[in-house]
């Protein structure tokens, strides 16, 4: 799951620095480095040093990475679909209400009616 998350983040943004990925994933630099190492070895992501600041490493999809990003998206969608199939409609409505409460709390809004 962390690898899929990293792929989706980079695919959505186009390019992210290692520190941005750490922040988005709420993970340590060493954890993210390991994830990116594996994805780079698989030819999905690639690192490139910034030409402006050589200390900054940008991560982007490799040429073959876009195909694998589509596969990762489909795999996640299938996984979520299967998980939600087992939940009754009434329970899904409860989950949705709960998520609305959490989302409103993050936005600083009150509880929905």
3-state secondary structure the chain: CHHHHHHHHHHHHCCEEHHHHHHHHCCCHHHHHHHHHHHHHCCCEEEEECCCCCCCEEEEECCCHHHHHHHHHHHHHHHHHHHHHCCCHHHHHHHHHHHHHHHHHHHCCCCCC
In this predicted structure, the answer to whether residue 110 has a pLDDT above a threshold of 60 is: yes
Q: Which domains does the chain have, with CATH numbers?
A: 2-107 (1.10.10.10)
In this predicted structure, the answer to whether residue 20 has a pLDDT above a threshold of 60 is: yes
When pLDDT is cut at 50, 70 and 90, the band that residue 19 belongs to is very high
Model pLDDT for residues 33-92, shown as the tens digit of each residue: 999 999 999 888 999 998 899 889 999 988 776 666 666 667 777 777 888 888 888 998
pLDDT attached to residue 69: 65
Task: Report pTM.
Answer: 0.60
CB 82 within 8 A of CB 104: no
């Amino acid at each position: 799951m962390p690898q899929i998350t990293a792929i989706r983040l980079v695919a959505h943004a186009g390019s992210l620095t290692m520190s941005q990925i750490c922040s988005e994933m709420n993970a340590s630099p060493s954890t993210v480095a390991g994830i990116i190492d594996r994805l780079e070895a698989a030819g999905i992501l690639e690192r490139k040093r910034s030409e402006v600041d050589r200390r900054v490493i940008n991560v982007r999809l490799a040429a073959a990475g876009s195909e694998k990003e589509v596969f990762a998206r489909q795999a996640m969608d299938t996984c979520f679909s299967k998980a939600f199939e087992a939940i009754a409609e009434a329970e899904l409505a409860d989950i949705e209400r709960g998520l609305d409460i959490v989302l409103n709390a993050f936005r600083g809004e009150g509880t929905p009616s």
